[in-house]
A and B are shown apart, each in its own frame.
Chain A
């Protein structure tokens, strides 16, 4: 079931020890698939920068990142793990700040770096406690030792903070919406698809090491999942920038994963092994699925941005006509992330839902309440994600172009600012599909999404294996057929559905005949002078939901007031702001800043006095030790 490889390494407490187990297997599959696809895509995406920027350095850090990711999920030793973790953080930082001549990019990079390092502090503390209690730095030795409930709880909370920042759990997610939009698109795909999953991996590893955790841990993880999921998708609905919206969706999906893991933990601590395997297995399956479809969506967003030089959704429109293949592939990603049948997102969510319904029937009363909460929030997340992605797809790919976004006039809007060549060349480029280097990786990812959606048994095998490994139960004792049989029925219905679609298309052909149908203008209720700017924008589409939640979302509107009998031109702008950034971290960091300034005033400017302090402290230590 697991294999440990040892090597010699002259680092104190460190050991070159690797472990392959069902948990690292799931993550390794996600890593290799997405790193490969995003790498090939990056080859095409970075082509315009050739000769203008040091691309070799970018490729170097990309490969270093790949290595670090593989090391993280296979490391069996704390020192090795933390070393790989730091390498991952730093190489990601250099990948994010590719366009470092722009100040927002530098700001995003610094926020990422600071957030990551603050989190690493908690990791050091956590690993120290674990190693101290277990007497070893190796994960497999730690897993065999016992921890007192209080210590286990503390370690669990520390892991939630330390790994939660990387994963993007709710109050600590603020680096994601900065870093994802500013990084080149294939890097955003890797960031969202894999790097944040390393936080999930860390939490899974801790859950695996801590065989026995207090009961409240499951509830806490489940609640974090609910909170991150719902708030993530609500924030996403309020965004106007494509990649920022996708970044908030990553928070939602991390929430779904945490919900699954939380359900699994509930099952483990209440001795309901079926629920434990379903929860953990569903969460792990969603890790893999999210890597595939979010990677696909970010790569699709990259193609849109490369063609139009804008990620502002309200400037775009009608791209299904200029980017036909990309629009179909983006559709596959959108259908998957909404958890709709035929696609992989549905399979993962089905298993988590199934687990939660099992929890309803098997857990004590408070477990039932939390499981109902989980089911309801999954349903709400699903409905909101559907609203969000119909907004994204509808505004970007459908309808008419909202602004004349082609050529040099808007080229400065996004990352390819300095690349605007001659406007004629740009215009002809706008009519073409993306290059095949960028299309093929997207096709691979889209194909995998559909494959998992239609033949889920190829992946459910090892995700359930990983789930049973986390739950510390023998997989053969679990009545797994109870969930695999319905899954088979789901797939049968999916094929019936496809057959029905074919049949209905045939009937339609038969009824309509072969003659081409007349093409007219869209009906506009008799109004003749319709401009493409009359179309519903992404902001107006989401308005009803965002206004209902305006207190949680910090909705701000400017202008839009009509004055006088014959009102003139007026402007309206609305934006949604992140509450945890403006209400927790903003004031908190400002307070810290003030506090340290005050401390700074009180310092003494003579070196001699500091020397005296040191002497006094040494004397104190001496006395304390002698006593």
Chain B
């Protein structure tokens, strides 16, 4: 029993404790590129701590769904954190077909996010909800395309098998499909986590946003739940991508963990560089970006089928 619970706790605690850190890294990189000192790298922790101490304010229009959404979304991310492998470290919960559960749990969190936005009756939040619903259709398509390619490459449909142990073998033969999957998944990561070419997390104009506008009416503990869940989502997606990319396995747990965390920091720096070097895309071009991601994944599948 102890041997079962220990990895669960370690895995969960890592996601819980480290996820805001990488938001801090991204902010620091962006500050560096704009020539500022920027807030402390631990600023996301301070923000969350502040919000957890605050009370909530509710709209008179909102119903129980508005209050339920943050809880559901955070619970989804906590469950997901047990299903994602970290490099060499397999997820504590793994079974054949766990990707299907993972994707539909993400869909569940999205459903509640959209409903909470519509619950306020605000037209701005309606806009955000509509965009979220649209873009997620395209990014989910790209995500599944990548999963098909990975399933064909590894002959498995469990996340820990697909991206844990076997992918570095493919790097040895320089499997071109893996390049395409990585590129496509990176775009999905940016879109799903509302990073810059798709959505600007720092803008203050409600009209142009997706994620930030949907949580416009949340406050206090509810907002803290939402932001914490968003940080975890970024961690989970980055974890998957880094697990695909890491080219070596040393066999030493400490070394491997250091490599994994180094990879995560590197990915956060990369996201920060992307955010500093380009502007947010016009809204009607975002779908083209997501279709590019789909096309990359599609070529990945073709390459895989051709080499098989």
Chain A contact residues, CB within 8 Å of chain B? 317-318, 320-321, 327, 335, 338-342, 346, 350, 353-354, 357, 360-361, 365, 368-369, 372, 375-376, 379-380, 382-384, 386-387, 389-391, 393-395, 397-400, 482-483, 485-486, 489-490, 493, 496-497, 500-501, 504-505, 508, 511-513, 515, 517-525, 532, 534-536, 540-545, 548
- List residues 271-302 of chain B with CB under 8 A from any CB of chain A: 287, 301
Q: 16 extra interchain contacts, Cβ-Cβ under 8 A, other than A335-B111, A386-B136, A511-B221? A: A341-B104, A341-B108, A360-B151, A376-B141, A382-B107, A389-B111, A390-B114, A393-B115, A394-B129, A497-B79, A511-B52, A511-B53, A523-B120, A541-B118, A543-B130, A544-B131
Collect the chain B residues with CB atoms within 8 Å of residue A338's CB. Answer: 107, 111
Task: Please tell me if the beta carbons of A525 and B206 are within 8 angstroms of each other in the complex.
Answer: yes
Q: From A372, which residue of chain B is reached at the shortest CB distance?
A: B148
Per the bound structure, the CA–CA distance linking A149 and B2 in Å amounts to: 60
Q: From B124, which residue of chain A is reached at the shortest CB distance?
A: A525
Q: From A382, which residue of chain B is reached at the shortest CB distance?
A: B107
**A383 in contact with B141 given A341-B108, A357-B97 (CB within 8 Å):** yes
Which of A342, A346, A522, A544 interacts with B121 by CB under 8 Å? A522
Task: Please tell me if the beta carbons of B58 and A375 are within 8 angstroms of each other in the complex.
Answer: no
Which of A357, A372, A398, A525 interacts with B63 by CB under 8 Å? A398
Task: Please tell me if the beta carbons of A320 and B131 are within 8 angstroms of each other in the complex.
Answer: no
B144 within 8 Å of A by Cβ? yes
Task: Please tell me if the beta carbons of A512 and B56 are within 8 angstroms of each other in the complex.
Answer: yes
Per the bound structure, the CA–CA distance linking A401 and B161 in Å amounts to: 50
Task: Please tell me if the beta carbons of A390 and B133 are within 8 angstroms of each other in the complex.
Answer: yes
Collect the chain A residues with CB atoms within 8 Å of residue B134's CB. Answer: 387, 544-545, 548
Collect the chain B residues with CB atoms within 8 Å of residue A513's CB. Answer: 55
Task: Please tell me if the beta carbons of A384 and B137 are within 8 angstroms of each other in the complex.
Answer: yes
Collect the chain A residues with CB atoms within 8 Å of residue B303's CB. Answer: none
- A to B CB contacts below 8 Å, 5 in the list: A489-B98, A497-B79, A525-B206, A536-B129, A544-B134
Measured between C-beta atoms, what is the minimum distance from A391 to chain B in Å?
Answer: 7
Per the bound structure, the CA–CA distance linking A489 and B78 in Å amounts to: 16
B95 within 8 Å of A by Cβ? yes
Q: Mark B53-68, 1 if CB is under 8 A from A, else 0.
A: 1011111111111000
B261 within 8 Å of A by Cβ? no
Task: Please tell me if the beta carbons of A522 and B217 are within 8 angstroms of each other in the complex.
Answer: yes
Measured between C-beta atoms, what is the minimum distance from A415 to chain B in Å?
Answer: 27
Collect the chain A residues with CB atoms within 8 Å of residue B59's CB. Answer: 519-523
**A517 in contact with B56 given A386-B111, A508-B71 (CB within 8 Å):** yes
Measured between C-beta atoms, what is the minimum distance from A540 to chain B in Å?
Answer: 7
B187 within 8 Å of A by Cβ? no
Task: Please tell me if the beta carbons of A501 and B75 are within 8 angstroms of each other in the complex.
Answer: yes
Per the bound structure, the CA–CA distance linking A389 and B111 in Å amounts to: 9
Task: Please tell me if the beta carbons of B305 and A548 are within 8 angstroms of each other in the complex.
Answer: no
Collect the chain A residues with CB atoms within 8 Å of residue B60's CB. Answer: 519-522
Collect the chain A residues with CB atoms within 8 Å of residue B55's CB. Answer: 512-513, 515, 517-518
Interface of B is mostly: helix
B165 within 8 Å of A by Cβ? no
B15 within 8 Å of A by Cβ? no
Q: From B74, which residue of chain A is reached at the shortest CB distance?
A: A504
Task: Please tell me if the beta carbons of B58 and A536 are within 8 angstroms of each other in the complex.
Answer: no
Which of A390, A512, A524 has most B Cβ within 10 Å?
A: A390
Task: Please tell me if the beta carbons of B71 and A501 are within 8 angstroms of each other in the complex.
Answer: yes
Per the bound structure, the CA–CA distance linking A160 and B217 in Å amounts to: 51
B119 within 8 Å of A by Cβ? yes
Q: From A490, which residue of chain B is reached at the shortest CB distance?
A: B101
Q: From A331, which residue of chain B is reached at the shortest CB distance?
A: B65
Which of B57, B76, B127, B217 interacts with A497 by CB under 8 Å? B76
Collect the chain B residues with CB atoms within 8 Å of residue A511's CB. Answer: 52-53, 221
Collect the chain B residues with CB atoms within 8 Å of residue A534's CB. Answer: 123
Measured between C-beta atoms, what is the minimum distance from A526 to chain B in Å?
Answer: 10
Collect the chain B residues with CB atoms within 8 Å of residue A501's CB. Answer: 71-72, 75
Task: Please tell me if the beta carbons of A340 and B75 are within 8 angstroms of each other in the complex.
Answer: no
Interface of A is mostly: helix
Per the bound structure, the CA–CA distance linking A411 and B288 in Å amounts to: 45
Which of B115, B123, B220 interacts with A394 by CB under 8 Å? B115
B170 within 8 Å of A by Cβ? no
Collect the chain A residues with CB atoms within 8 Å of residue B151's CB. Answer: 357, 360-361
Which of B98, B126, B148 interacts with A375 by CB under 8 Å? B148
Task: Please tell me if the beta carbons of A541 and B130 are within 8 angstroms of each other in the complex.
Answer: yes
Collect the chain A residues with CB atoms within 8 Å of residue B64's CB. Answer: 320
B157 within 8 Å of A by Cβ? yes
Measured between C-beta atoms, what is the minimum distance from B218 to chain A in Å?
Answer: 10
Q: Mark B102-114, 1 if CB is under 8 A from A, else 0.
A: 0111011011001
Q: From B140, which residue of chain A is reached at the shortest CB distance?
A: A383
Per the bound structure, the CA–CA distance linking A413 and B124 in Å amounts to: 30
B216 within 8 Å of A by Cβ? yes
- List residues 17-62 of chain B with CB under 8 A from any CB of chain A: 52-53, 55-62
Which of B83, B124, B130 interacts with A544 by CB under 8 Å? B130
Collect the chain A residues with CB atoms within 8 Å of residue B305's CB. Answer: 365, 368-369
Per the bound structure, the CA–CA distance linking A38 and B255 in Å amounts to: 63
**A536 in contact with B127 given A341-B104, A384-B137, A517-B57 (CB within 8 Å):** yes
Which of A369, A391, A399 interacts with B120 by CB under 8 Å? A399
Task: Please tell me if the beta carbons of B57 and A536 are within 8 angstroms of each other in the complex.
Answer: no
B245 within 8 Å of A by Cβ? no
Collect the chain B residues with CB atoms within 8 Å of residue A379's CB. Answer: 103, 140-141, 143-144
Task: Please tell me if the beta carbons of A512 and B137 are within 8 angstroms of each other in the complex.
Answer: no
Collect the chain A residues with CB atoms within 8 Å of residue B220's CB. Answer: 512
Task: Please tell me if the beta carbons of A399 and B119 are within 8 angstroms of each other in the complex.
Answer: yes
Measured between C-beta atoms, what is the minimum distance from B174 to chain A in Å?
Answer: 23
Task: Please tell me if the beta carbons of B57 and A387 are within 8 angstroms of each other in the complex.
Answer: no
Measured between C-beta atoms, what is the minimum distance from B51 to chain A in Å?
Answer: 10
Task: Please tell me if the beta carbons of A382 and B130 are within 8 angstroms of each other in the complex.
Answer: no
Task: Please tell me if the beta carbons of A361 and B155 are within 8 angstroms of each other in the complex.
Answer: yes
**A504 in contact with B119 given A357-B151, A548-B287 (CB within 8 Å):** no
Per the bound structure, the CA–CA distance linking A525 and B90 in Å amounts to: 46
Q: From B65, which residue of chain A is reached at the shortest CB distance?
A: A398
Task: Please tell me if the beta carbons of B79 and A350 are within 8 angstroms of each other in the complex.
Answer: no
Q: From A511, which residue of chain B is reached at the shortest CB distance?
A: B221
Task: Please tell me if the beta carbons of A391 and B133 are within 8 angstroms of each other in the complex.
Answer: yes
Q: From B66, which residue of chain A is reached at the shortest CB distance?
A: A398
Measured between C-beta atoms, what is the minimum distance from A294 to chain B in Å?
Answer: 18
Per the bound structure, the CA–CA distance linking A455 and B118 in Å amounts to: 32
Per the bound structure, the CA–CA distance linking A395 and B301 in Å amounts to: 39
Task: Please tell me if the beta carbons of B133 and A496 are within 8 angstroms of each other in the complex.
Answer: no
**A387 in contact with B98 given A339-B104, A399-B118 (CB within 8 Å):** no
Measured between C-beta atoms, what is the minimum distance from A342 to chain B in Å?
Answer: 8
Collect the chain B residues with CB atoms within 8 Å of residue A395's CB. Answer: 118
Collect the chain A residues with CB atoms within 8 Å of residue B57's CB. Answer: 517-520
Per the bound structure, the CA–CA distance linking A339 and B151 in Å amounts to: 22
**A390 in contact with B104 given A365-B305, A511-B221, A535-B121 (CB within 8 Å):** no
**A350 in contact with B78 given A525-B206, A543-B130 (CB within 8 Å):** no
Collect the chain B residues with CB atoms within 8 Å of residue A518's CB. Answer: 55, 57-58
Q: Mark B68-94, 1 if CB is under 8 A from A, else 0.
A: 000110111011001100000000010
B258 within 8 Å of A by Cβ? no
Per the bound structure, the CA–CA distance linking A532 and B76 in Å amounts to: 32
**A540 in contact with B130 given A361-B151, A523-B122 (CB within 8 Å):** yes
Collect the chain A residues with CB atoms within 8 Å of residue B148's CB. Answer: 360, 372, 375-376
Per the bound structure, the CA–CA distance linking A320 and B64 in Å amounts to: 9
Collect the chain A residues with CB atoms within 8 Å of residue B98's CB. Answer: 486, 489
B246 within 8 Å of A by Cβ? no
Task: Please tell me if the beta carbons of A517 and B52 are within 8 angstroms of each other in the complex.
Answer: no
Measured between C-beta atoms, what is the minimum distance from B228 to chain A in Å?
Answer: 10
Per the bound structure, the CA–CA distance linking A332 and B104 in Å amounts to: 16
Which of B103, B111, B145 has most A Cβ within 10 Å?
A: B111
Q: From B114, which residue of chain A is reached at the shortest CB distance?
A: A390
